[in-house]
Amino acid sequence: MKAATLARLDLLAADREAKLLETIRQQNAAMQQAAYQRDMLASYRERLAESWQGGAVVSAAQARRAGQFAAGALGAETQIVETEARAKAKLEAAVADLARLKAHRRKLGERLREVRRRAQAAAELKAAQDLPLRRPVSDVS
């Protein structure tokens, strides 16, 4: 393979690597957001539980809203867990792809160095062959 082709392949791989790094960044951010949402939901649940444990009398409307919140919280938690699982799967896939891509780029680099080394050796051999022949000068004394 020609050096220019190998260099082009490496350039394409570098572009793919940049995209994978961006995907990894985005999925890490999504996982952090899900963790934040899960913590916020847990905090609300704790406050709701504390308000009920106080033994104070609550109106039917308050009890109904608390029940609605509890039901909504279960749905929200399910969505958060699903979102987090999808982000984790995408993150793991991107990390694996990145590892494979880096190995591929290393191989491309090795092949490119080998092609360039061979081209340099061929150029040196051609230059040596293009030199005029020198015949030894004999001493006539």
Q: How many helices (H) and strands (E) does the chain have?
A: 2, 0
pLDDT in tens, 70-110: 888 888 999 999 999 999 999 999 999 999 999 999 999 99
* Helix 60-130 × helix 3-53 angle, to 10°: 160
pLDDT in tens, 35-54: 999 999 888 888 877 776 76
SS3 16: helix
CA 130 vs CA 19, 121, 125, 127, 135: distances in Å: 48, 14, 9, 5, 15
- The answer to which of 75-79, 106-110, 120-124, 130-134 has the lowest mean pLDDT is 130-134
User: Is this prediction's pTM over 0.75?
Assistant: no
Give the pLDDT of residue 65: 82
* φ, ψ dihedrals at 19, nearest 5°: -65, -40
Give the pLDDT of residue 25: 97
Say if residues 81 and 110 touch (Cβ distance below 8 Å): no
Q: Which amino acid is at 4?
A: A
Give the pLDDT of residue 67: 80
Give the pLDDT of residue 137: 62
pLDDT in tens, 4-32: 999 999 999 999 999 999 999 999 999 99
